[in-house]
Amino acid sequence: MLTLLVGLLYLVSGRAVRSQDATGSRFVCNAIPPGAEPGCGYNPTGNRVQSSTPVEDELRNTIIQLRETILQQKETIVSQQGTIKELNSKLARCEAAADESTQGKSRGQGSRRKELGKNTMGDLPRDPGETIDQLGKTMQSLKGRLENLEQQSLRLPTTNVSAGGVSALAPLPPELRDLLRQRLGALETQLLRKVAELEEEKSQLYNETAAHRQRTENTLNSLLERITELEKSNSAFKSPEDFKVSLPLRTNYLYGRIKKSLPEMYAFTVCMWLKSSASPGIGTPFSYGVPGQANEIVLIEWGNNPIELLVNDKVAQLPLSVSDGRWHHICITWTTRDGFWEAYQDGERLGTGDNLAPWHPIKPGGVIILGQEQDIVGGRFDATQAFVGELSQFNMWDRVLRPVDIVGLANCSAYMPGNVVPWIDANVEVFGGASKAALEICEDRAFDS
């Protein structure tokens, strides 16, 4: 009985195994040698099973070509990264050169590069113009190098395989080409911006240098004129400005003349010391006439009228009174803006006004006459308008002086000669019996008072 049961179990298990083999699948696992390609057939001993199927050969060649393509693209990207690093280095040198050109003016030539024997491919030239040219050449060189890289990348093989199993030539993936173009565009934009900044900086430096040179030349010219005037001054006076002009008679032939003329001005201040007891009216202390307008600037007291200031033949009455036979310091300021004027006597502002020839510029190239009113430029005087008395320290500026400056001139605590017309012996001529005599105005004024 036991033997029969064992036999039945053996028969049942055998049928189950045969039915599984008929309906299921069997998987056989073989070992793959290290470094071998997966997916290829190997026998149980580890030897590769050679297949002669054309499809498998084609796929194998495709995989090899893909690997070569990836390696070549990797080398191209590494080369492009080096180019980008070189461009960033050059941009940093451009920024350093811009800082050096800004600060290098004060440091002088000592801070320049001295390594002249080296290969300074990336060094910047000393002159800003050469810097711009060098940047342009560098940019063109970099563009050429990147274009060469792109052309080389066009010759790299692709994954397309012809029917005969031979790969065809095709460009790099569009993403890589777009990335290269974007990098090239960004670098070109940065270089162009840096070139524009250098050009602007060069222009600013040139303008600042030209302005500084012009100011220096003007100062030197003023000093040279001052030295020349001092050298030509009359030795009879203690100082070339310590003198007076005397006009003792009311005639049409006694007058003084200032050798210097005026530039075009949009404001002025004229100050002087004068002494007169003439009546009626002290006459015309000074007048400035230009071609086409004999009354460009006139200070006059005629008859019983108050003292008047004329600008371009327009009139303003001044609240001044100086006909008491004593020395008085008077200053008149005017600006073309709204025609605003001020009148000072002995350092005190006595009156102001506006709308006196507003927005009119004082014309240049005229003649300044002391003691007479001009009907034509430099002549045709009227005796009834002549000044009778003494004048000194006639100075003129092309700006409005501050009240504190005028007070300093009036109380003799400041010496400030006019920047357009200074009171200098060599600058004043006298005619018709007018005379010049030594005068130290502050001492004589103290004695007079």
Q: Mean of the pLDDT values across residues 330-345?
A: 96
- For the stretch 31-56, pLDDT in tens is 555 555 555 554 555 555 554 577 67
Question: Mind spelling out the 3-state secondary structure of 31-61?
Answer: CCCCCCCCCCCECCCCCECCCCCHHHHHHHH
What pLDDT does 292 receive? Answer: 92
- Please report whether residue 395 resides in a domain: yes
Q: Which of 186, 203, 234 is the last residue of a domain?
A: 234
- Both tokens of 238, joined, read 């203690």
Q: Mean of the pLDDT values across residues 109-116?
A: 42
Q: Are residues 225 and 305 in the same domain?
A: no
Cα–Cα dist 8/4, whole Å: 6
- Please report whether residue 36 resides in a domain: no
- For the stretch 409-428, pLDDT in tens is 999 888 899 999 999 988 99
Q: Are residues 347 and 392 in the same domain?
A: yes
Cα–Cα dist 398/403, whole Å: 15
- For the stretch 243-289, pLDDT in tens is 999 999 899 999 999 998 999 999 999 999 999 988 888 999 999 99
Q: Domain residues for 180?
A: 175-234
Q: Are residues 185 and 313 in the same domain?
A: no
Q: Are residues 223 and 251 in the same domain?
A: no
Q: Which of 209, 234, 259 is the last residue of a domain?
A: 234
Q: Mean of the pLDDT values across residues 301-330?
A: 92
- For the stretch 211-229, pLDDT in tens is 888 888 888 887 777 776 6
Q: Are residues 364 and 381 in the same domain?
A: yes
Residue 146 predicted with pLDDT over 90: no
The count of other CB atoms within 10 Å of the CB of residue 303 is 9
pLDDT category, 304, cuts 50, 70, 90?
Answer: confident
What pLDDT does 190 receive? Answer: 81
Task: State how many domains the chain has.
Answer: 2
- Average pLDDT of the chain to the nearest whole number: 77
Burial readout 366-377 (b: 16 or more C-beta within 10 A, e: otherwise)? bbbbbbbbbeeb
Residue 395 predicted with pLDDT over 80: yes
DSSP 362: B
The better pLDDT of the pair 430, 180 is held by 430
Bridge partners of residue 257, in order along the sequence: 369, 429
Decide: 157 and 167 in contact? Cβ < 8 Å.
yes
Q: Are residues 221 and 319 in the same domain?
A: no
Identify the top-confidence range among 7-16, 115-124, 184-193: 184-193
- Please report whether residue 350 resides in a domain: yes
Q: Mean of the pLDDT values across residues 302-313?
A: 91
Q: Which CATH number does the domain housing residue 268 bear? A: 2.60.120.200
CA dihedral 215, 216, 222, 228 (to 10 degrees): -160
